[in-house]
Amino acid sequence: MATKKMNAFYAQSGGVTAVINASACGVIETARKHKDKIGKVYAGRNGIIGALTEDLIDTSKESAAAIAALRHTPAGAFGSCRYKLKSLEANKREYDRLIEVFKAHNIGYFFYNGGGDSADTCLKVSQLGEAMGYPLQAIHVPKTVDNDLPITDNCPGFGSVAKYIAVSTLEATYDVRSMAKTSTKVFVLEVMGRHAGWIAAAGAMASTKDFELPIVVLFPEVPFDQTKFLAKVDALVKKFGYCTVVVSEGCHWPDGKFLAEQGTRDAFGHAQLGGAAPVVANMVKDALGHKFHWGVADYLQRAARHVASKTDVEQAYATGKAAVECALRGHNSVMPTIDRVSDKPYRWKVGLAPLSKVANVEKMMPKNFISPDGFGITDKCRTYLAPLIKGEDYPPYRDGLPRYVTLKNVAVARRLPEFKV
């Protein structure tokens, strides 16, 4: 544990979310409350790249109001990156550089906000600190819309995507229901999730016990069975007059080939332009003759701070806050987790997991969360998802648009020679 006052480094990593800035807000606001122990919070411009290139942002130049506004601003305020540090052996040069930069800027705390890959980087940085005798506390702040980090009950970022998909599926299903008599009978929505069906599962939440809606979910966990799928859609359209299909981008054939890879070629022979949604929609049209519409939510789903889950925002902030607090208590190489205490009423608290148990472990959706026919979710899954999408946390608006903040992101003066990544 740092015995003298040290600065902190914070960086955002991987795909951004609607609430990763809420974690940043938790980190920075909490650090500001402990100025006796933590000097400045430097953020990496574009994630860890900023540390390697000594491109640091001085967050102390931002007003309290600007930092507070991070809580309601989606995406990565300091820039993120997709850049995975290799093993210590394979790329000692980069790790040495990190320590050099941290030393040059008196950085004793390393807060890394990301998913599984980032947890691995964070772990390596903490090991490096120990190995090189440099007093560095590395804390990982969980973030991923994929909801696949282990130990933690759920991951900040997921609840808001889930809410967006549940709300959008509900709304689009009302739309297709209105049109079905003479026009569109099937609406297909493509959602994120290459390996796990957590986000697709959220689409099924639009149908409730109180009011059933015909929604078919295509999970990456369930190899696509075209015959069974078409029979399901046919049955639902016969019963309800319409249906909605929520298809995960990771939905694939038994041989592992993604639905989206239909061997599609444009006029110039270029491969595949589309996604899974148009493939599924055209399949339904060809087999059953139904008029369709399809949508692809893509970035809209993970950036949709305007319809974020209150639970998610609170947990994102809390894990950021806990990261700083546990660092101040002397922890190293850990990740604050969200521990579910009870389902009804939903209660949770922040726990701590050792990074060695987090890095490189992917948590899949439990088998008993998917209904026996493979096209829906079980009550267990509903119980799990329900509190995560609960509550609204609207951003303030001005002139019809959310007042999202763009920080000044003032650079810290460089003290070291240039470094190429």
Draw the binding track, 144-183, toward a copy of itself (x: CB under 8 A; -: no contact).
Answer: -------------------x--xxx-xxx-xxxxxxxxxx
Cβ-based nearer residue to a copy of itself, 286 or 362:
286
DSSP H/E element including 165? helix 158-179
Cβ-based nearer residue to a copy of itself, 67 or 136:
67
Name the catalytic one among 58, 146, 148, 393: 146
Cβ-based nearer residue to a copy of itself, 188 or 323:
188
Cβ-based nearer residue to a copy of itself, 53 or 319:
53
Nearest 5°: the CA angle 164, 195, 74 is: 35
Contacts (CB under 8 A) with a copy of itself, residues 113-132: none
Contacts (CB under 8 A) with a copy of itself, residues 197-236: 205-206, 208, 211
Which position has the token pair 């550089």? 97
Helix (H, G, I), strand (E, B) or coil at 311: helix
Instruction: Give the residue, chosen from 96, 286, 373, 379, that forms a contact with a copy of itself under the rule CB under 8 A.
Output: 286
| CA separation for the pair 43, 270 (Å, rounded) | 41
Contacts (CB under 8 A) with a copy of itself, residues 290-309: 293-300, 302-307, 309
What's the Cα-to-Cα distance from 212 to each of 173, 270, 310, 409, rounded to whole Å?
11, 42, 25, 48
Instruction: Give the residue, chosen from 7, 23, 59, 73, that forms a contact with a copy of itself under the rule CB under 8 A.
Output: 73
Report the length, in residues, of the chain: 421
Q: How far is the CB of 85 from a copy of itself (least distance, A)?
A: 13
DSSP H/E element including 215? strand 215-218
Instruction: Give the residue, chosen from 34, 60, 61, 83, that forms a contact with a copy of itself under the rule CB under 8 A.
Output: 83
Draw the binding track, 325-364, toward a copy of itself (x: CB under 8 A; -: no contact).
Answer: ----------------------------------------
Q: Are 233 and 288 in contact (CB under 8 A)?
A: yes
Which position has the token pair 């005798």? 133
| CA separation for the pair 34, 300 (Å, rounded) | 36
- Residue 384 lies near a copy of itself (rule: CB under 8 A): no
Write the CB contacts of 16 (distance below 8 Å, at least 6 apart in sequence).
74, 75, 76, 80, 302, 303
Check if 286 is active-site. no
Q: Where are the beta strands (DSSP E) in 21-179?
A: 38-44, 56-58, 107-114, 137-142
Q: 300: which 2 tokens?
A: 């809209």
Q: 375: which 2 tokens?
A: 């096209």
Instruction: Give the residue, chosen from 32, 103, 340, 390, that forms a contact with a copy of itself under the rule CB under 8 A.
Output: 390
Q: Segment near a copy of itself (CB under 8 A), from 32-40, 116-124, 265-273, 371-379? A: 265-273
Q: How far is the CB of 299 from a copy of itself (least distance, A)?
A: 4
Catalytic positions: 146
